[in-house]
Structure 1
Amino acid sequence: MRFIFQTFLLCILQGIAIHVHAQLNPIGALYFQNQYLGNPAMAGRKGIDVNMGYRKQWSNMPGGPSTQIITGEYAFARNAGIGLNVSNETSGLFKSLRSVASYAYHMPLNENNTKLSFGLSLGFLNERLSREDINGDPNDIIVVNYNQKETYIDGDFGLAYTSNKLSVQAALPNIKGIFQRDLVNQSINHPTFFSAVSYKIDSENPGGISLEPKVVYRGIKGLNNILDIGANVSYANSKVNLFGMYHSIGSATFGLGMNYQSFGIIGIYSTNTTSLAAYSSGTFEIGLKASVFK
């Protein structure tokens, strides 16, 4: 019984550290390639987009966290779009499944593709312990009680002002934390807000190099707010793009992507925060994208 309790407590502490680290370094694709991940107001702006991503953290540690994500967006009307965002995370014994559906309305402000967008996501969050991976009694009452937790109703809300060059965003992720004050929401493992500003500088030559600097300001409950500064460089009508972001917590994210017709692939690497750099490797991420009916 003592062994089970100690194992469970160790997993709880490890899970908290992993969730905090995951929020400190979010999915890298949300900065430029798949902005719907950070803001539901960015869903369904043009045609159909399908994105898949896989991220592996701390690859040199057994049971290191991994994340699988799939999103789909569809502009079903001129000024409206829908989306689906499904993510599955595992870290040691912990498994988390989050699925939300989104609706976004894009209100045109003028004839120069300037829009004010509103987005809302609603779905569920399910957290469980993997009983088959427990080194002990999987029927222990602590494990049973944890796995009998109710599934949370969860969602996100976002705003966005976009034009051909300027983009200004603000979002409230995981809005269940605003209305529910249980023990889970008192932890320090969830974001409180997301905001971003970017400006695209196109080349004067068709097919030349374009530059998009971006500043992101994020909040994490119980921790200092995080400032991300970087830029995306694209070439040959966005067939090749390279981006980098520096995070105020002492880490950085780099990505290289290639697009061919309606398909794209991107590889992303994030260094660890300053406090973790000496103990484990960084985070590897790969993403695939298909875009049709633009």
Structure 2
Amino acid sequence: MAGIDSGLHLNAAHRRQWQNSIEGAPVSTFVTADFNTGNRGGIGLNMMADAAGLIKRTHLALSYAYHMPLSATRNQVLHFGLSMSFDFQRINLDKVDGDLNDPTLLAYNARDNYFGGDFGMAYTDDHWTIQSSLPNIRAMFTGVNRGINGGTLVYSAAAYKLKMEGAVSTIEPKVAYRAIRGYDDIIDAGVNVSFLDNLANVMAVYHTSKSVTAGIGVNIKKTAVIQLMYTTQTGGIKSYVDGSYEIGATINLFN
């Protein structure tokens, strides 16, 4: 949620298959930044580069969020967010094994870039985080949709943070629901446990696509955060390829 607290937050992540990667396996890189603008507002920038098979996709989004306090004593806040985005999709002709003058290939790369938008809402307090988002709301009103199978249609999640004393700082169970274009819906259920005043954390999530994500993280002087995660392959193809790993980093400035 852009600008949910003070300061500038920079995030980057990279995801790919671990070993025995098949040719054309997905590789994704993410970069985001958000800043609190004051007056309960925040702005954010999201950039994603993804390559899978012959298709290369770049997603750029600019976001604005408004954080409306509901109670000063319980830190109850209602959050609204809106993003404007551009999607660029192209076929990598350097990897095509065929006729590069094929009209279908040329027509795909000649398509106009796609403009879209996303909307999200969230509620937070000292314990609860409840959120929901609608990616690509433009398609709901215009009927024009260039989304591909595998894209998220609806995302909703709820988490409850238990504050502890001692070596364990917090325990936060979380459940999420994802409606996926062209596939069965997915439910994620997991828990994140923080230690030593949030100096380190471990997490695990089970996905109903028959895969599991596990990760560890470390918080360096509350300025830099490094996360490592591994996701096992989904049930149908785990006999053929390994799962994927993701490494992410966050830098918090001007807090």
Instruction: Check whether TM > 0.5.
Output: yes
Aligned counterpart, 2:13: 53
Residue among 74, 90, 95 paired with 1:128: 90
- Cα deviation, 1:243-291, whole Å, max 9, x if unaligned, reads 1110112111111111102011111111111111111110111001101
Aligned counterpart, 1:101: 62
Q: Which amino acid aligns with 1:128?
A: R
Aligned counterpart, 1:256: 216
Aligned counterpart, 1:243: 203
TM-score (norm 2): 0.93
TM-superposed CA distance for 1:224, in Å, is 2.4
- Cα deviation, 1:205-264, whole Å, max 9, x if unaligned, reads 4x6431000010111123322111001000112110111110112111111111102011
Any conservation in 1 of the 2:139–2:145 contact (CA below 8 Å)? no
Q: How many positions carry a matched residue from both structures?
A: 251
Sequence identity (%): 37
Question: 2:106 and 2:17 mapped to 1: Cα distance?
Answer: 28
- Cα deviation, 1:138-168, whole Å, max 9, x if unaligned, reads 2322211110011110221000000121111
Question: 2:145 and 2:103 mapped to 1: Cα distance?
Answer: 19
Q: Tell me: CA distance 1:65–1:168, structure 2 relative to 1, closer, same or farther (3 Å).
A: same
- Cα deviation, 1:42-70, whole Å, max 9, x if unaligned, reads 11111211100000037521221100100
Question: 1:69 and 1:126 mapped to 2: Cα distance?
Answer: 15
- Is 1:44 aligned to residue 44 of structure 2? no
- Is 1:291 aligned to residue 244 of structure 2? no
Question: 1:223 and 1:161 mapped to 2: Cα distance?
Answer: 29
Which of the two has greater strand per residue?
Answer: 2
SS in 2 for 1:145: helix
Residue among 25, 40, 46 paired with 1:79: 40
- Is 1:172 aligned to residue 134 of structure 2? yes
RMSD after superposition: 1.6
Q: What pairs with 1:1-294 in structure 2 (closer than 5 Å)?
A: 42-46=1-5, 47-57=7-17, 59=19, 60-111=21-72, 112-181=74-143, 184-185=146-147, 188-205=149-166, 208-261=168-221, 262-294=223-255
SS in 2 for 1:209: strand
Instruction: Give every structure 1 segment of 4 or more consecutive aligned residues whose post-TM-superposition deviation is greater than 3 Å.
Output: 179-185
Which of the two has greater helix per residue?
Answer: 1
Question: 1:288 and 1:183 mapped to 2: Cα distance?
Answer: 33
Q: Tell me: CA distance 1:182–1:77, structure 2 relative to 1, closer, same or farther (3 Å).
A: closer
Question: 1:194 and 1:110 mapped to 2: Cα distance?
Answer: 26
Q: Which amino acid aligns with 2:70?
A: L
TM-score (norm 1): 0.81
Question: 1:176 and 1:57 mapped to 2: Cα distance?
Answer: 32
Question: 2:186 and 2:107 mapped to 1: Cα distance?
Answer: 35
| Structure 2: unaligned runs, 5 residues or longer | none
Q: Which amino acid aligns with 2:217?
A: G
